[in-house]
Amino acid sequence: MHGVVMVWFFLVPSIPAVLGNFLIPLMIGARDVAFPRLNLLSWYLFMIGGIMAVAAIVAGGVDTGWTFYTPYSTTYANSAVVPMVAGIFIAGFSSILTGINFIVTVHTMRTRGMTWFRMPLFVWAMYATSLVMVLATPVLAITLSLVAVERLWGVGIFDPALGGDPILFQHLFWFYSHPAVYIMILPSMGVISELVTCFSRNQIFGYKFIAFSSLAIAALGFLVWGHHMFVSGQSIYASLVFSMLSFMVAIPSGVKVFNWIVTLRNGTISYKTPMLYALGFVGLFTVGGLTGLFLASLAVDIHVHDTYFVVAHFHYIMVGSAVMAYLGGIHYWWPKMTGRTYPEKWGVFSAVLLFLGFNLTFFPQFVLGYMGMVRRVAEYPPEFQVLNVLSSAGASILGVAYLIPLIYLTHSLLMPRTAGPNPWNAKGLEWTTASPPPEHNFDEPPTVTEPPYNYEQEAVAVALSAGPPEEGPDHGRTGQENA
Residues that bind another protein (CB under 8 A): 1-2, 5-6, 9-10, 13-14, 17-19, 21-22, 24-25, 32-33, 36-37, 39-40, 42-43, 46-47, 50, 54, 57, 63-65, 67, 69, 72, 76, 306, 330, 337-339, 374-379, 395, 399, 402, 406, 417, 434, 436-439, 441
**Shortest spacing between CB 292 and another protein, in angstroms:** 19
- Residue 345 or 417: the one with the smaller Cβ distance to another protein is 417
**Shortest spacing between CB 335 and another protein, in angstroms:** 13
**Shortest spacing between CB 226 and another protein, in angstroms:** 18
**Shortest spacing between CB 264 and another protein, in angstroms:** 29
Helix axis angle for 121-153 and 166-199, nearest 10°, is 160
- Residue 208 or 376: the one with the smaller Cβ distance to another protein is 376
**Shortest spacing between CB 68 and another protein, in angstroms:** 9
Q: Which string of DSSP letters, residue by residue, matches 312-337?
A: HHHHHHIIIIIIHHHHHHHHHHHHHH
HSE-up of 166 (CA within 13 Å, CB side)? 15
Q: Is 222 exposed, middle or buried (0-12, 13-18, 19+ CB in 10 A)?
A: middle
**Shortest spacing between CB 58 and another protein, in angstroms:** 11
Paired strand residues for 268: 482
Nearest to 162 by CA among 78, 71, 85: 71
**Shortest spacing between CB 22 and another protein, in angstroms:** 4
- Residue 18 or 241: the one with the smaller Cβ distance to another protein is 18
- Residue 128 or 401: the one with the smaller Cβ distance to another protein is 401
**Shortest spacing between CB 24 and another protein, in angstroms:** 8
Alpha-carbon distances, residue 350 vs 139, 239, 337, 357 (angstroms): 39, 42, 20, 10
180 contact partners, CB below 8 Å, separation of at least 6 = 7, 12, 132, 136, 140
- Residue 42 or 268: the one with the smaller Cβ distance to another protein is 42
> CA triplet 408, 425, 120: central angle to 5 degrees?
95
Task: Look up residue 305 and give its amino acid.
Answer: H
- Residue 233 or 467: the one with the smaller Cβ distance to another protein is 233
- Residue 171 or 375: the one with the smaller Cβ distance to another protein is 375
- Residue 71 or 254: the one with the smaller Cβ distance to another protein is 71
For the beta carbon of residue 465, count every other beta carbon within 10 angstroms. Answer: 8
**Shortest spacing between CB 451 and another protein, in angstroms:** 26
Contact 140, 92 (CB under 8 A): yes
Contact 322, 14 (CB under 8 A): yes
- Residue 178 or 256: the one with the smaller Cβ distance to another protein is 178
- Residue 300 or 374: the one with the smaller Cβ distance to another protein is 374
94 contact partners, CB below 8 Å, separation of at least 6 = 13, 17, 42, 43, 45, 46, 49
**Shortest spacing between CB 389 and another protein, in angstroms:** 14
Nearest to 102 by CA among 173, 153, 28: 28
Instruction: Reduce the secondary structure of 147-197 to three states and give it as a string.
Output: HHHHHHHCCCCCCHHHCCCHHHHHHHHHHHHHHHHHHHHHHHHHHHHHHHH
Distance of alpha carbon 315 from alpha carbon 184, whole angstroms = 12
CA 19 to chain CA centroid, nearest Å = 11
**Shortest spacing between CB 6 and another protein, in angstroms:** 4
Contact 456, 203 (CB under 8 A): yes
**Shortest spacing between CB 91 and another protein, in angstroms:** 10
- Residue 163 or 438: the one with the smaller Cβ distance to another protein is 438
Helix axis angle for 121-153 and 207-220, nearest 10°, is 10
For the beta carbon of residue 67, count every other beta carbon within 10 angstroms. Answer: 18
Task: Look up residue 61 and give its amino acid.
Answer: G
- Residue 143 or 263: the one with the smaller Cβ distance to another protein is 143
